Structure 1
């Protein structure tokens, strides 16, 4: 195998630059196009609650304060900025209601929404804007890793049209920001090792701190960095290793104020994340297969899937026509990349990117296999892996197009163009879609709103559970006129006489069981493709003859 130094000396060919610039332009267009078209999912609705300055306690109080029916528009104030509440109230929401999410993104998006509006498209536009910084970030990391502009150009092209990147660029959550920070912190580490000085280590410390204040899984990235430094320093306690340890400690110390204030609310965080701890997968082979299939969605995705909370076979990742080729492709890709990297004369160029993607991912898979759960197949938790894959694929392709063998160059050029076109096809599909498979609750919200809109004088019964409240906040964007009946288990609400269709999203209430015994109503379960945990039930009033 030719030495990687040949690649470092190569200049990007003109055709590659022109091609990548065109696809970056298309990628930017798709990031900002149709920002308000897709259903605003439950997670995004909680983002709007955060920037409104209200808390979950206030939401629950809103439900318990009403004995009769209310309009769903009552909850509009929790989806828009309250001028009497500021950034401090957004931070207070996170501390008391959503403590597993650090405040950096939410503070930034609150300030952004004050300027550009708090509509779904206005809030999502911040993620789209932040996603633009991924291009210079991945280019810098490629230069630090491989000293090769060619790799950087190809990586920018792949990321520009990646359907996975496009999805997170249009989601009102912190993941676009986190990806930029993963790339920048990794590049800053390599620069600090290469040029030992205080400024570079301070920059690295700052990137780690920003990452920790964006997503707590940055800890896994830091550990991957630490393993790299230990191996790179040949397991000796050197000045470089000492600097890494000091910087990591400094980053944790800067996070400490946040950890101290959220510790009293840790039980809330456990309640919010408990759904991922449930063992929805039937066996470990199914978990691994789904994990592998989703690797392909980094490059090509036609939105072929069903809800992750209803697994019973691989067909739920789409049809077998899609799942089996995707599984074969993923296995082949991982095997080839592994063999390619092992055969490299200099392993140091690829070790960091291998650890960055492999360590967090493998840790989550092992944890799920031991304790059960679906954390490892949540794409937002696997972003270090997907970024690493895009960079490694870019490196392999750049390596081959720089070789003297014409057939290798031609095949690599063909694959580059093929991957870019595959990504573009996926982006067009995303552009046309009303919802995407990664938002597991969206399809159910869409179908619930359609069913209720078709009903005469509907009434939706709600309670103050977080799942129920999240669904109501999302439905408020699409059912502006529906009436709600808030209930609590300690009292039985009376049903308004003019309600002919009464809907429940959960059955664990006294009112539900009371209506089951009522001969005036007939009960049926609505078939929802991707139901909430307990589906949707309808009591239809029987006309008396």
Structure 2
């Protein structure tokens, strides 16, 4: 499964349309300014392809400092770590579409050892670790974001790393381990700002697992573990200060670039988006939320229902079969930032919870639960019932590989958003 997952990530890497957001990646990596492009090209004349592509090419007169400044002033919602890595990668190998996307592909490979390590910290099971690797290797949503020149594959890795570091610091509570946890938070925050929500979820986990000792005496006191977490989190926020400066100074730009998340959807549209995104953990044949309730493609939609039921049952199974310290972690990871965004959309309106890329930590949490369900059932079930769970494992493999083959050979997919129909227009 691991080899298949690697192949599905690298095959036809330059085939899909290089969409709106990825073009911004190229401009940001090469330190080409959006305002500069508008001033130079939006003058009423016809602009050729070659002239546009010049704004996605490396320029010897633009250094790293200029890149960071332009990113911080024009697109501050995207912290710089991925873009710095991609800049140096492109300097080595060129700035073609394949090269720019290959950075995200290579970073996605780091998720394999990380998910295995996290399973060891949580479940202490080799078989569950390998099943988790297989699940994310052929998971369509991870394949898609591995092939996209954005920071989302790196965010999967940093989410897993910070989770590992937290559990290790709890198990071996030394200041060195808490220091590693703080560093992992810094790396996550400099990858994607929503890592802050994941960190708050970690804090909730620490408080809940420490709740018995908070009031263990007649007076309120904070346990050492909670204090260590708060110090680690505070250090991470302190080290994020340079980027927070850009965020505060350019907050209107930030609001403008994220304004689409506040455009309200109907309750039916939100429900459809939640269901579709949940199913994409295991199966994806490019069905979007607009067509979910249309009476067609019954086989694919049946597989989507199977994926949703399996994911929900896995969360229930983890709660039923593991200690609170285990299932609480899985549930909180699966719920952050999903629950927060759902509440925000329901209370104030918007579509934050409809964006799959914002839900990656939650998807990882559900995949951990599925890995535990399948692994535990294969280990514990009596021989006469094992074929059932072997069949479930085969179904997961078939859905994942089938989805991966379909999306890897396609020119466009739902992740391309506003650029979805560009291949048809170009044709």
> Which range, TM-score by smaller chain?
over 0.9
Q: Are the equivalent residues in 1 in contact too, given 2:155–2:192 (CA < 8 A)?
A: yes
Which position in structure 1 is the counterpart of 2:232? 247
TM-score w.r.t. the length of structure 2 is 0.93
Q: Are the equivalent residues in 1 in contact too, given 2:206–2:226 (CA < 8 A)?
A: yes
Q: Shift in Å at residue 249 of structure 1?
A: 0.2
Q: Are the equivalent residues in 1 in contact too, given 2:32–2:56 (CA < 8 A)?
A: no
Residue 46 (str. 1) matches residue 24 (str. 2): yes
Q: Are the equivalent residues in 2 in contact too, given 1:314–1:323 (CA < 8 A)?
A: no
CA 1:254–1:344: 2 relative to 1, 3 Å: same
User: What secondary structure does 1:228 align onto?
Assistant: helix
User: 187-196 or 350-359: which moved more?
Assistant: 350-359
User: What aligned pairs does 1:505-516 form with structure 2 within 5 A after superposition?
Assistant: none
Which position in structure 2 is the counterpart of 1:257? 242
User: What aligned pairs does 1:409-424 form with structure 2 within 5 A after superposition?
Assistant: 409-424=386-401
2-structure distance, mates of 1:219, 1:304: 31
Runs of 4+ off more than 4 Å: none
1:463-486 superposed Cα distances (whole Å, 9 cap, x missing partner): xxxxxxxxxxxxxxxxxxxxxxxx
Residue 296 (str. 1) matches residue 279 (str. 2): yes
2-structure distance, mates of 1:165, 1:117: 25
CA RMSD of aligned residues (A): 1.9
Which position in structure 2 is the counterpart of 1:266? 251
How many residues of Structure 1 are paired with residues of Structure 2 in the alignment? 419
CA 1:110–1:335: 2 relative to 1, 3 Å: closer
Q: Shift in Å at residue 404 of structure 1?
A: 4.9
Which position in structure 2 is the counterpart of 1:277? 262
2-structure distance, mates of 1:141, 1:301: 26
User: What aligned pairs does 1:197-276 form with structure 2 within 5 A after superposition?
Assistant: 197-234=174-211, 236=214, 237-276=222-261
2-structure distance, mates of 1:262, 1:248: 19
Q: Are the equivalent residues in 2 in contact too, given 1:209–1:254 (CA < 8 A)?
A: yes
2-structure distance, mates of 1:407, 1:351: 32
Q: Shift in Å at residue 299 of structure 1?
A: 0.8
2-structure distance, mates of 1:440, 1:225: 31
Which position in structure 2 is the counterpart of 1:127? 104
Q: 2:61 aligns with which of 84, 88, 91?
A: 84
CA 1:138–1:106: 2 relative to 1, 3 Å: same
User: What secondary structure does 1:28 align onto?
Assistant: helix
Which position in structure 2 is the counterpart of 1:109? 86
Structure 1, unmatched stretches of 5+, are 1-22, 451-545
TM-score w.r.t. the length of structure 1 is 0.74
Greater fraction of residues in strand: 1
Q: Are the equivalent residues in 2 in contact too, given 1:50–1:93 (CA < 8 A)?
A: yes
Residue 380 (str. 1) matches residue 377 (str. 2): no
User: What secondary structure does 1:343 align onto?
Assistant: helix
Greater gyration radius: 1
CA 1:33–1:49: 2 relative to 1, 3 Å: same
Q: Shift in Å at residue 263 of structure 1?
A: 1.6
Q: Are the equivalent residues in 2 in contact too, given 1:39–1:434 (CA < 8 A)?
A: yes
Structure 2, unmatched stretches of 5+, are 215-221
Residue 426 (str. 1) matches residue 411 (str. 2): no
Residue 61 (str. 1) matches residue 39 (str. 2): yes
Which position in structure 1 is the counterpart of 2:342? 365
CA 1:234–1:409: 2 relative to 1, 3 Å: farther
Q: Shift in Å at residue 438 of structure 1?
A: 1.7
CA 1:346–1:262: 2 relative to 1, 3 Å: closer
Q: Shift in Å at residue 322 of structure 1?
A: 5.6
1:108-156 superposed Cα distances (whole Å, 9 cap, x missing partner): 1001110121111010000110011000000010000111111100000
Q: Shift in Å at residue 315 of structure 1?
A: 4.2
2-structure distance, mates of 1:223, 1:40: 34
Q: Shift in Å at residue 323 of structure 1?
A: 7.4
